[in-house]
Amino acid sequence: MNDAELDNYLEAGRVAKQVLHSCAAEIKPGVLMGDIFDMVVEQIESAGAMLSFPPNISLNEVAAHDSPSPVDERTFIEGDLVKLDIGTHIDGYIADTAMTVDLGGDHGKLCEAAQAALEAAINVVMPEVVVSEIGAAVEAAITSYGFKPILNLTGHGVARYDLHHGPSIPNTGMFGSAVLREGNVVAIEPFATTGTGMVHETPRAEIYQVVADGSVRSPTARKIMKRAEVMQGLPFSRRWLNVPKADLALPSLLRQGNMYVYHCLSDTPGSFVAQFEHTIIVSEEGPVVTTR
């Protein structure tokens, strides 16, 4: 990694940290989810960065990938456990960070478990470390609080304009044979849950990604592909499209293999999930946390 690349990673992390904490402070009962989404977008762009994915705003048992629709009228309510997960980039060099806001004050221990797991994981990060060692640290921290890690969600490596580059960073010590190398950049995101420790896809989906150019016949589909170009291959939100009949064209783009869709990922109804996340550069001198 050269100095220019390092500077871009650090600046992306600085902006992500600033925006995450600023917008999380505005998550309160009665506030529209869509207003927080729009606030994240505005603040990232005002700071001179770009989004590396649409803001994820996931409630209660939903662990990841929820995001407001174009006409979303949902508001936060007392008792919600809100995960805010945001991403930035500078010239394609990505930062990914998340925190949980407890609107009822009833889930402090769960949030503490996820935070402790993140710190334990960061302390393990060094070149030549096997990723299962990081997962074991996450699992030990979360279970020590009496909760479960989500076993089928992982952190991930990032690279230029590549949000999920590898290696995957597990939240358990049961698997993961990849080895960290000097200069790797990884996003570590422990999820602590009161539920089963496994998530499943729900029908709801608001986040898409272009995965193949291919031939597109429908004028509406072509407009969607054109709108998505601004993300340079990174995920985009249906909220951003402003394309009439987009809901009719998106399924055809999925069937043709042009698009990938990110469904909401949820534990069992009535459970609660907390998440915290940082982006880390792997270095012989110790982990460089870009989003702290």
Annotated binding site for substrate: 65, 164
In contact, 56 and 262? CB cutoff 8 Å: no
**Is-catalytic flag, 277?**
yes
End-to-end CA separation in angstroms for the chain: 20
Known binding-site residue numbers: 65, 85, 96, 156, 164, 189, 277
- For tokens 């849950």, name the residue: 193
In contact, 71 and 247? CB cutoff 8 Å: no
**Is-catalytic flag, 189?**
yes
Q: Which helix (H) or strand (E) holds 57?
A: strand 50-59
CB atoms closer than 10 angstroms to residue 247: 13
**Is-catalytic flag, 200?**
no
74: tokens are 């949902």
Q: List the catalytic residue out of 66, 189, 206, 267.
A: 189
Q: List the catalytic residue out of 26, 102, 133, 164.
A: 164
- For tokens 């960061």, name the residue: 122
In contact, 93 and 160? CB cutoff 8 Å: yes
Distance from C-alpha of 243 to C-alpha of 139, rounded to nearest angstrom = 44
Q: Which amino acid is at 177?
A: S
Q: List the catalytic residue out of 61, 66, 85, 139.
A: 85
- The backbone torsions φ and ψ at residue 255, rounded to the nearest 5 degrees and listed phi first, read -65, -35
In contact, 276 and 99? CB cutoff 8 Å: yes
- The secondary structure of 253-285 as a DSSP string is HHHTTSEEEEEEEE-STT--EEE-BEEEE--TT
| Exposure class string for 65-95: b at 16+ Cβ within 10 A, else e | bbbbbeebeeebeeebbbbbbbbbbbebbbb
Q: List the catalytic residue out of 61, 96, 139, 267.
A: 96
Q: List the catalytic residue out of 89, 107, 156, 278.
A: 156
- For tokens 């989004």, name the residue: 51
Active site residues: 85, 96, 156, 164, 189, 277
